[in-house]
A and B are shown apart, each in its own frame.
Chain A
Amino acid sequence: MSEATTSWQRIKVWFHRWGSPAWFYAASGHMIPWLWAGFALLALPGLYLGLFVAPPDYLQGDSYRIIFIHVPSAWMSMMIFALMAIFGLIGMVWRIRLAETMAICSAPIGAAFTLITLITGSLWGKPTWGTYWQWDARMTSELVLLFLYVGVLALYESIEEPRKAARAASLLALIGLVNLPIIHYSVQWWNTLHQGNTIRLNLAESSMDTSMLVPLLLLVVATKFYYAAVLLARSRSMLLHQDQHKNWPRELLVAD
């Protein structure tokens, strides 16, 4: 047997292991502390640089410092929705229970980031635009995203059988994907109060000074670690709740 075939088989075995709740529970338990460490290592310097080192903006003064939580949260709110739909699709097509669990467990985290985006955006809007809220395309589409998250959670809770509920909620998440390009391009498609894109994929093209860009990027990456840690923690808790009458949680307690 060639080395490539053996490696491929190893990958396949590793992938299939994720289908076992007991294995996932143990493996994620080892991963979570590392994810929290990554989050702390990035978020603490990011917050320090953003709040205490970066200079005030020439136009907005100090109120722009809200950007360091507003922008990472806004990006997370969209990224998590896309991931929720992808997990949902995997769950629907291959009937992988863990994918369904991860799709549902992503919803409250995404909703929390959307709520943070709306609250911080509104608090940034008051000193900058003179108003907390405007029915502007970017803000309205972000509010629709929050309603979609709430809808996914409400649909999941309304169906008694968890796997059927997860599939129905995943379908709603897939339909809701249509809102993501609307949020992203709203500042280009419509004449909005919200500013255009400041940060580009090619960082050299970003119209932001390095002293502000570095803490922002640190927090952008930190929120990814936060999401991964909380997603795993939520998935563990949900699997344990669903399987509490099965053998593996009991064996786990005996092993402890």
Chain B
Amino acid sequence: MNIEWIHGPHSHYIMIAYGISALIVLYCALQPVLRRRALLRHIRVQQRAEKISRQ
């Protein structure tokens, strides 16, 4: 296993590049999932409200 680069002079450039990329990739992946869940919750609440108002 070659991990000597971690102590090398350019390691911070590599770590920042990978770190920022990971954050962007993670945000892009999670955002639609959270949005969809919020929407489903909203629809469910609306449905319940309609049911109560009908009663």
Residues of A whose CB lies within 8 Å of any CB of B are 52-56, 61-63, 65-66, 69-70, 73, 108-109, 112, 115-116, 119-120, 123-124, 126-127, 226, 229-230, 233-234, 236-237, 240-241, 244, 249-250, 253
Judging by beta carbons under 8 Å apart, are B21 and A73 in contact? Answer: yes
Interface of B is mostly: helix
Q: How many A-B residue pairs have CB under 8 A?
A: 94
Q: How far does the alpha carbon of A52 sit from the alpha carbon of B3 in the complex, in Å?
A: 6
B residues near A108, Cβ cutoff 8 Å: 28
Judging by beta carbons under 8 Å apart, are A63 and B10 in contact? Answer: yes
Q: How large is the interface on B (under 10, 10 to 19, 20 to 34, 35 or more residues)?
A: 20 to 34
Return the chain B residue nearest A25 by Cβ: B36
Residues of B whose CB lies within 8 Å of any CB of A are 1-3, 5, 8-11, 13-14, 16-18, 20-21, 24-25, 27-29, 32-33, 35-36, 39-40, 42-44, 47
Q: How far does the alpha carbon of A115 sit from the alpha carbon of B10 in the complex, in Å?
A: 21
Judging by beta carbons under 8 Å apart, are B29 and A241 in contact? Answer: no
Q: How far does the alpha carbon of A127 sit from the alpha carbon of B17 in the complex, in Å?
A: 13
Given contacts A233-B32, A253-B47, contact A61 B25 (CB under 8 A): no
B residues near A249, Cβ cutoff 8 Å: 40, 43
Q: How far does the alpha carbon of A52 sit from the alpha carbon of B14 in the complex, in Å?
A: 13
